Amino acid sequence: MERLRQDDPSHVGPYVMLARLDADCAERTVPERRYVGRTADGQRTVLVCVPRVGADPSRWAIEAEGARRLSVPRFLGVAEVGGTAGFPWYAVPYTPALPLPAVLAAYGGPLPEITVRRLGAALAEGLAAAHAQGVTHAGLSPAAVLLTPGGPLLTCFGAVRSAAPDGARRAGIPGLDPGCLAGQEAAGGRPGPLGDVFALGAVLAYASTGHTVPERSELPAGLRDVVGACLSSDPAARPQSASEILRRLVSPGAGTAPVRDAQAGGTVLDHASVPLPGRVVAALAAQSAALLAAELPAPHQPFTSTQRVY
C-alpha cells in the first residue's frame, strides 16, 4: 500500500481515497488503478478501481459490469459499478489484500513450492469454474492476483479485452504484462481458455522465480513440467483445460497432500488453505492496522490542480 500521489483522484464516487494499493514499480503491468477508499462518514472501507490513464474507459466499463454479474469462485466479487462513460469505477468491500508482487516483496523473494502449488490449485479451480460457464478471465497476471487471509482472489477481469479490440495488436500496451500474454492474444486474437492457461503458467513462474519468463532450470523441479507446458507457444501443447492443471498440481505423485472432497467424491487439495509465510501474514496485518489508523482528509483541505474527482 502506497501514499496517494498528486495525480491520483481525491474522491471516486462517494468514496474518499486513502491510499494506493500498488507500488510505483508495478504500475506498468497493472491494467487499472487501485485504491483503498472510505465513505465520508468513515463507516465503510472499500477497494476502488478505475481505468489506468490512456485506457479506453468505455471498454473498461463493459468489463467491470461483466465482472459485477459474475459468480465464480476465486474471482473478486464486484459489488458496485458507477461513474460516467468517461470516468467509470467499481468498488468491492475491503479486506486486507496484497498483490502478488507485493507478496514476493514482503517475503523477500520467490515463494516456497508448496505455497506456489496451492496458489496455482486455487486459481486453476476458479478458472475451471469460469470456463465451464463460458467465461474467459482474459486478464490474469501477477498484479491480478490478490492474496488475502481467505485465500487468493483474481482481479483485473477482461484486461486483455478492454486493452484493444480483437484484431488489433496488443503487444506493448501499458497495463498488460508481456510475459502473461499468449502469442495469439498479443497478435490480436480473441482471448480464450488456452490464453488463461498460458497466463496461469506465467503467474506460477513468477511466484516461484520472481519473473514471468524464466529459464526451465530456474523453476522448482516439481513444477517444471506443468508450468513449462502452460507456457508453450503452441496452444495445442498446453494443458487443454484449467481442470487438467488442477489435477497435475494436486496429484499425489507431485508431493502434495490431497484431502477428500465430500461433494465431488474425489481427492483434491484444500484450496482454501494457501500457506502464507509469516512475513506475508505480517504484511497483511500491517496493512490492516494502517487503514484502521488512517484518518480522512480534513474537509477544508484544498485539491491541487492535478487531482481528479470521479
Q: Computed from CA positions of residues 285, 289, 291, 292, in that sequence, does the dihedral angle turn out positive or negative?
A: positive
Q: Tell how many helices (H) and how many strands (E) occur in the chain.
A: 9, 11
For residue 158, pLDDT beyond 50: yes
Task: Please tell me the predicted confidence (pLDDT) of residue 304.
Answer: 40
Task: Please tell me the predicted confidence (pLDDT) of residue 192.
Answer: 97
How high does pLDDT run on average in the chain? 88
Reference 144, options 170, 126, 164; nearest CA is 126
The number of C-alpha atoms within 13 Å of 299 and in the hemisphere containing its C-beta is 4
Q: How much is the average pLDDT of 15-39? A: 92
Q: Which residue has the higher pLDDT, 262 or 95?
A: 95
Q: Which residue has the higher pLDDT, 65 or 42?
A: 65
264: confidence class by pLDDT, cuts 50, 70, 90: very low
Q: How much is the average pLDDT of 153-172? A: 95
The string of pLDDT tens digits covering residues 76-123 is: 999 999 998 889 999 999 999 999 999 999 999 999 999 999 999 999
Task: Please tell me the predicted confidence (pLDDT) of residue 16.
Answer: 95
Beta bridge partners of 37: 17, 46
Q: How much is the average pLDDT of 276-297? A: 88
Q: Which helix (H) or strand (E) holds 223?
A: none
In angstroms, rounded to a whole number, what is the distance separating the alpha carbons of residues 111 and 103?
9
Q: How much is the average pLDDT of 259-286? A: 64
C-beta separation of 163 from 156 below 8 A: no
Please indicate, yes or no, whether the overall pTM of this predicted structure exceeds 0.85.
yes
Q: How much is the average pLDDT of 241-267? A: 61
The string of pLDDT tens digits covering residues 222-238 is: 999 999 999 999 999 99
In angstroms, rounded to a whole number, what is the distance separating the alpha carbons of residues 26 and 177?
10
Domains and CATH numbers, the chain: 11-96+280-293 (3.30.200.20), 98-276 (1.10.510.10)
In angstroms, rounded to a whole number, what is the distance separating the alpha carbons of residues 115 and 102?
15
Share of the chain above pLDDT 70, in %: 88
The number of C-alpha atoms within 13 Å of 73 and in the hemisphere containing its C-beta is 14
Reference 13, options 56, 44, 58, 55; nearest CA is 44
C-beta separation of 125 from 246 below 8 A: yes
In angstroms, rounded to a whole number, what is the distance separating the alpha carbons of residues 237 and 232?
6
Q: Hey, how many other C-beta atoms are within 10 angstroms of the C-beta on 168? A: 10
Q: Which residues contact 261 (CB under 8 A, 6 or more apart)?
A: 267, 268
